Chains A and B, each alone.
Chain A
Amino acid sequence: MTEAPLIRMRGITKRFPGVTALNGVDFDLLPGEIHALVGENGSGKSTLVKCLYGFVEPDEGVIEVNGVPAAIDSAHRARQLGIVAITQELTLASTLTVAENILMGRLPRGKLGIDWGKVRRQAREALDQTGAEIDENAIVGDLSVELQQEVEIARAISAQSPVLVLDEATSSLSEAATERLMTKLEQLRSQGVAVIFISHRLREVFQCASRATVLRDGQVVATFDLAGVTESDLVAKMVGRRMEDLYGKRPIPKGKVVLSIRNLSTASGTVRDASLEVHEGEILGIAGLVGSGKIELGMAIYGAIPPAARC
């Protein structure tokens, strides 16, 4: 590809107290590509994009947008440069309507101040664009976390910026919503929008991205086309060793049971009849989709939600 990059980052270095998060990172984003940033937790991928969307200022290095060096010192500046981010952390005003959130900072004006009819129409269009079935007049705080994430996505996409950054934006989405987002991203890409995609779900990376840059310990390991690359190749680059020992499980002698839960239910009914045992020296994972009750189970275990009264 010989196209001039939309974003060109050179020698980006960022130090936090006690850790060098980024160490001389070079990164190019081309128009009309979905470029995945992959790496283990702490590899620096989030910090790198935070430098782009104005959350973090690099200590060293140059960022060029459309060939012009840019100092991105705020999210506002990033947006002016055409860079909009969707992050895992929700940045919505929960007491305001969906419509006002989508158009925050760019509410359309009519003859008599802000034109609320136009606000609602434009918000509706933005929601329809992403296929989100959310009432634009709803108060954001009344929506589930998943729907709030969809509002966030609709807002970012409706900004029609040439660069979209998705930093773990899919982590709280349902599969259907993720699917819709993927379709939308592909459509935007074909219109020339450039996307930086970060997800810990490699399946999603392979599904939508055309190129990938692998980061490890704050440094770029490689940038390559994803065509013909297998998941285990990618993982090997991420962790610096072959796939076989990625989930390398060592047998651990289990000690005695230190926590035993029998038929735990919460009053809201989100958790029903949950039972589990945790042994000494054991790390027990609890997995589930959004809304499956894993958070509530955890909260019930440490006492933040009272268990249902026994019958």
Chain B
Amino acid sequence: MSIGRVAGALGGLIIVAIYLAVTDDLFLTWGNVMNVFRAQSVIFILAIGMTFVILTGGLDLSVASAAGFAGMILGLSFKAGMSPVLAVILCAISGILLGVLNGMLIGMVRISPFVVTLGTMSIYTSVILVVTHGSTVSLFNYPKFDAIQTLANQDAGPFPIILLVIVALYLIAWFVLHRTSFGRAVYAVGSNSEAARLNGLNVPVTLMLVYAVAGLTYALGAIQQDGRLTAAVPIVDPNQMLMVIAAVLIGGMSMRGGEGGLLGTFVGVLFLGVIQNGLTLKGVSAFWQGTVTGLILIAAVGLAVVRETGAMHAVRRRVSGRRKAEATGASVD
């Protein structure tokens, strides 16, 4: 992974952090910094899955809806009196299954990820409402839920437990992406799926697994979400999907796939978290957050495009693009 792709987000993060540190005494306090991580904890986890997806050149618009769905499974499991272990397992399985559904339609039926996940986003959102009749499943009075709540909100020494969990998850995901055949297949499929296929990689199965892994991380994000809210909420926050995708792209990932990685994603999520925190500290209305996020997203991706279309690079890409087109076109001789 080249540090160049992350440089933009990292630079932005540092500049904003310095500005906030200088102008606001509260910003650089331990408590506040840990609060940034806590506030972004769900996004941090969901963005791992989105990183896998976008690495393959895909997109998952169903992220927030799938997380909402898995979170509702978790809530309903507790409500039915199940043990925390069983509830978490059911939640994880539901997330994986939602991902597998996306992945089969994308990898095997070969429908575009945008269309598939736009569809499943709508379906998952609606099914939650159907099942719950639109009412929140409050988990406040369930002693069995305490374990989840502790995980989501308590500290271990100076650190929030969830921050340690997030760091562990990023390390595991990094290992998977960089040290396993599956992880390299993710990069290869995103870079050139034809090359991947010719070298014996199973592209449909890789894609299916990628969305399954994503679904699993959505379930993990959902556990944290329920833990923070002490409830499973039937209304999917439309901002969440935007935040996750924006964070990954701000982190330097290319929508074409095959480039970028988890470091960028981590920085991207943190950057958006610091921005939110800064707006709050400065007393700016929360209504402005969407505007700021959108501007940063466009600026970050815009900068990457400008960098990539440096004169010679553009010509070379055009030539190799044409060769690629010839390679995939059917020819008789």
Contact = CB atoms under 8 A, between A and B. Distances in A.
Interface in A265-306: 267-268, 295-296, 304-305
Interface string A62-93: 00000000000011100110000001011111
B330 to A, nearest CB: 8
16 contacts: A21-B333, A41-B333, A89-B326, A91-B199, A92-B195, A93-B188, A94-B258, A95-B191, A104-B188, A106-B200, A107-B184, A113-B175, A139-B2, A145-B323, A268-B315, A295-B319
Contacts, number: 112
Contacts of A112: 179
A47 B332 contact: yes
A130 to B, nearest CB: 18
A213 interface: no
Contacts of B320: 90, 94, 141, 145, 148
Interface in B105-164: none
Interface in A106-122: 106-107, 109, 112-114
A105 B200 contact: yes
B187 interface: yes
Interface in B187-225: 187-188, 190-192, 194-201
A136 interface: no
Contact of A19 (B190, B327, B332): B332
Given A94-B320, A114-B178, A75 B187 contact: no
Interface residues of A, number: 45
A75 B200 contact: yes
A267 B179 CA distance: 44
Contact of B192 (A79, A87, A92, A105): A92
A104 B327 contact: no
B291 interface: no
A43 interface: yes
Contacts of B239: none
A295 B179 CA distance: 40
A212 to B, nearest CB: 17
A87 B194 CA distance: 13
Contacts of A90: 320, 323-324, 327
A202 interface: no
A113 B178 CA distance: 8
Contacts of A75: 197-200
B195 A91 contact: yes
Nearest to A87: B327
Interface of A: 16, 19, 21, 41-47, 74-76, 79-80, 87, 89-96, 100-101, 104-107, 109, 112-114, 139, 141, 144-145, 148, 267-268, 295-296, 304-305
Chain B contact residues: over half helix, strand or loop, or mixed?
Answer: helix
A107 B178 CA distance: 11
B180 interface: yes
B311 A46 contact: no
Nearest to B192: A93
B96 to A, nearest CB: 22
A16 to B, nearest CB: 6
Contacts of B330: 16
A89 B323 contact: yes
B319 A104 contact: no
Contacts of A145: 319-320, 323
Given A104-B199, A295-B319, A114 B179 contact: yes
A4 to B, nearest CB: 27
B332 A104 contact: no
A172 to B, nearest CB: 9
Given A44-B333, A145-B323, A91 B198 contact: yes
A106 to B, nearest CB: 8
Given A47-B333, A114-B178, A268-B315, A95 B187 contact: yes
